[in-house]
Chains A and B, each alone.
Chain A
Amino acid sequence: METTSIFVLLVSSIFVNNFVLSRFLGICPFLGVSKQVDTAIGMGMAVTFVMTLAGVITYLVQKFILVQFNIEYLQIVAFILVIASLVQFVEIVLQKISPTLYQALGVFLPLITTNCAVLGLALLNIDDNLNLIQTIFRSMGAAIGFALAIVLFAGIREKIELSDVPKPFKGFPIALVTASLMSIAFLGFQGLV
Chain B
Amino acid sequence: MDIKNIFSAGLSLAGMGLVFGTGLAYASQKFAVKRDPKVEAVYDALPLVNCGGCGYPGCMQFAQAVVNGDAPATGCPVGGDETAEKIGEALGLEIETGEKFIARVKCKGDKEKCATKYEYFGLDSCISANMLESGPKACAFGCLGNGDCVDVCQFDAIHVNDLGIAVVDPEKCTACGKCIDICPKDLISLVPITQHVIVDCINEERGGHVKKNCDVACIACGICERACPFDAIHVENNIASIDYEKCTQCMICYEKCPTDAISADESRKQKAFIIEEKCIGCSLCKKRCPVDAISGEPKENHIVDKDKCIGCNECVEACPVDAIVMQDV
Q: Which residues of A contact B (CB under 8 A)?
A: 61, 65-66, 69-71, 74, 77-78, 81-82, 85, 88-89, 92-93, 95-97, 99
Contacts and interface: CB of A to CB of B under 8 A. Distances in A.
A138 to B, nearest CB: 22
A89 B13 contact: no
14 contacts: A69-B8, A70-B5, A71-B5, A71-B9, A74-B13, A78-B13, A81-B13, A81-B17, A85-B20, A85-B21, A89-B23, A95-B31, A96-B31, A96-B33
Contacts of A97: 31
Taking each of A69, A77, A82, A93, which has the highest tally of chain B beta carbons within 10 Å of its own beta carbon? A69
Per DSSP, chain B at the interface is: helix
B243 to A, nearest CB: 35
B312 to A, nearest CB: 49
A78 B19 CA distance: 13
B16 interface: yes
A88 B8 contact: no
A81 B33 contact: no
B27 interface: yes
A95 B23 CA distance: 17
A92 B24 contact: yes
A65 B8 CA distance: 9
A182 to B, nearest CB: 30
A176 B27 CA distance: 38
A88 B17 CA distance: 13
Contacts of B9: 69, 71, 74
Contacts of A66: 12
A70 B8 contact: yes
Contact of A81 (B5, B16, B23, B31): B16
B33 A61 contact: no
B16 A82 contact: yes
A92 B17 contact: no
A92 B13 contact: no
Closest 8 CB pairs of A and B: A85-B20, A96-B31, A69-B8, A71-B9, A65-B12, A92-B27, A92-B31, A95-B33
A89 B8 contact: no
Contact of A71 (B12, B17, B33): B12
B194 interface: no
Size band of the B side of the interface?
Answer: 10 to 19
B28 interface: yes
A58 to B, nearest CB: 11
Contacts of B12: 65-66, 69, 71, 74, 78
Nearest to B32: A96
Given A89-B24, A96-B31, 12 more contacts: A69-B9, A70-B5, A71-B8, A71-B12, A74-B13, A77-B13, A82-B16, A85-B20, A85-B23, A88-B24, A96-B32, A99-B33
Contacts of B33: 95-96, 99
Contacts of A70: 5, 8
A70 B13 CA distance: 13
A70 B7 CA distance: 12
A48 B12 CA distance: 27
Nearest to A66: B12
Contact of A61 (B16, B17, B28): B16
Contacts of A89: 23-24, 27
A93 B13 contact: no
Nearest to A88: B24
Contacts of B28: 92
Interface in B1-49: 5, 8-9, 12-13, 16-17, 20-21, 23-24, 27-28, 31-33
A89 to B, nearest CB: 5
A100 B8 CA distance: 44
Contact of A93 (B5, B16, B20, B31): B31
Contacts of A88: 24
B6 to A, nearest CB: 10
B311 to A, nearest CB: 52
A85 B24 contact: yes
Nearest to A97: B31
Given A70-B5, A71-B8, A92-B31, A82 B20 contact: yes
Nearest to B64: A103
B24 A78 contact: no
B60 to A, nearest CB: 12
Contacts of B13: 74, 77-78, 81
A27 B32 CA distance: 32
